[in-house]
Amino acid sequence: RRTVLRAAAALPAAGLLAAPRFARAAEFEWKYGHNLPVTHPLHIRAQEAVERIARETNGRVEIKIFPNNQLGGDTDMLSQVRSGGITFFTPSALVIATLVPVASINAVGFAFADYAQVWKAMDGGLGAHVRQAISRVNLFAFEKMWDNGFRQMTTSGRAITEAAGMDGLKIRVPVSPLSISMFRGLGASPASLQFSEVYSALQTKVVDAQENPLPIIQVAKLYEVQKSCALSNHIWDGYWFIANGRAWRGLPAELQRVVSIAINEAGLKQRDDIAGLNATVQADLQSKGLAFNGTNPESFRARLRDSGFYGEWKTRFGEEAWGQLEAAVGRLA
């Protein structure tokens, strides 16, 4: 009977379909929170994805984006997506590792040589291993990871040209055990702060340095409060697009398909956007006054080896995950 009523109602409405957005209220009205300014490709592609999802589900799934830490910092959003207060969140691998330790395996220092290695691993066995682990805490991770980038170090004072420059450096790192361990291993004095606090912590000199991919330094205007950038490429970092497990399972299969395709395809476009930005962002930051220098990665790697960093994290991540990483990048420790 219900089908009959719907079909009948659709007839007079047909001419109206193009005008107002959607006749009915959405069946799934969901929130998505993230930590980046709206000018970052992650936000722009996510916005396109939620518009596509609304269109292709005929308004049944409506996702509202709360960018730029509007709902709180990473730690807050991580607990909200677990409780269902928000349905989607894009934590960096570094940050979701506070809950799913193996998720920070892609961030092992100086592991990836280039993006070819990164995507082969994250779209392959290593990514599958991490997604499994994420599912065990009742979160769903979409297949395609989004790009944050290779992380670089910036300072307000002297430039860092080799590992000796790390000694005692007061550097902000994300809220992540791996970041703290790695920067201690390098000889620095790291402090964990959520991204929402980074600009003001640099401005007020609570810390002297931070590390992030260049597109983040650009969109968050960190060049206003930093002088030098060392191209260290010390970590490759990406975002997992995750959903609350209960909400995701409650979505009918045909809608799950539409949402998955839209989000994964947006992720692939976002990777291309970052690749495009990577070609131009240094020149832009230079023109805004940030000075750049290269570094000698071997001096950093040697400190990590000597401090026992690789051995420790091999044990913490376990043989299976470490094996997946080494299958992609070669022997590490």
Question: What residues from 270 to 299 belong to the interface with ligand X2X (CB under 6 A)?
Answer: none
* Minimum CB distance to ligand X2X, residue 296 (Å): 24
Is residue 218 at the binding interface for ligand X2X, with CB under 6 A as the rule? Answer: no
Helix pair angle (177-185, 309-317), 10° resolution:
160
Q: What is the rounded CA–CA span in Å between residue 100 and residue 97?
A: 4
Q: What is the rounded CA–CA span in Å between residue 304 and residue 107?
A: 13
What is the widest separation between alpha-carbon atoms in the chain? 76
* Minimum CB distance to ligand X2X, residue 247 (Å): 23
Q: What is the rounded CA–CA span in Å between residue 148 and residue 263?
A: 16
Tokens found for residue 263: 């989000």
* Minimum CB distance to ligand X2X, residue 152 (Å): 11
When binding is defined by CB under 6 A, the residue of 68, 69, 87, 92 that contacts ligand X2X is: 92
* Minimum CB distance to ligand X2X, residue 195 (Å): 3
User: Dihedral of CA 17/23/28/32: which sign?
Assistant: positive
When binding is defined by CB under 6 A, the residue of 94, 121, 133, 274 that contacts ligand X2X is: 94
Is residue 216 at the binding interface for ligand X2X, with CB under 6 A as the rule? Answer: yes
When binding is defined by CB under 6 A, the residue of 68, 69, 106, 148 that contacts ligand X2X is: 148
Nearer to ligand X2X, 160 or 220 (CB): 220
Which residues on neighbouring strands pair with residue 149, listed in sequence order? 237
Nearer to ligand X2X, 35 or 226 (CB): 35
Q: What is the rounded CA–CA span in Å between residue 159 and residue 152?
A: 12
By C-alpha distance, which of 102, 146, 79, 118 is closest to 316? 102
When binding is defined by CB under 6 A, the residue of 31, 32, 35, 230 that contacts ligand X2X is: 35
By C-alpha distance, which of 66, 89, 70, 173 is closest to 137? 89
Residues 64, 86 contacting (CB under 8 angstroms):
no
From the list 92-100, 121-129, 287-295, 310-318, the region that binds ligand X2X by CB under 6 A is 92-100
Nearer to ligand X2X, 179 or 324 (CB): 179
Q: What is the rounded CA–CA span in Å between residue 61 and residue 248?
A: 12
* Minimum CB distance to ligand X2X, residue 183 (Å): 13
Tokens found for residue 226: 């930093």
When binding is defined by CB under 6 A, the residue of 86, 95, 207, 230 that contacts ligand X2X is: 95
Count residues near ligand X2X (CB under 6 A). Answer: 10
Is residue 174 at the binding interface for ligand X2X, with CB under 6 A as the rule? Answer: yes
Instruction: Compose the 183-212 pattern: x for residues touching ligand X2X by CB under 6 A, - for all others.
Output: ------------x----------------x
Helix (H) or strand (E) holding 15: none
* Minimum CB distance to ligand X2X, residue 107 (Å): 9
Helix pair angle (297-306, 309-317), 10° resolution:
70
Is residue 181 at the binding interface for ligand X2X, with CB under 6 A as the rule? Answer: no
Residue by residue, DSSP assigns 32-76 as EE-SS-TTSHHHHHHHHHHHHHHHHTTTSEEEEEE-TTTT--HHH
Nearer to ligand X2X, 153 or 328 (CB): 153
* Minimum CB distance to ligand X2X, residue 118 (Å): 15
Tokens found for residue 3: 């089908």
From the list 89-97, 162-170, 294-302, 324-332, the region that binds ligand X2X by CB under 6 A is 89-97
Nearer to ligand X2X, 208 or 237 (CB): 237
Is residue 241 at the binding interface for ligand X2X, with CB under 6 A as the rule? Answer: no
Q: Which residues bind ligand X2X (CB under 6 A)?
A: 35, 92, 94-95, 148, 174, 195, 212, 216, 237
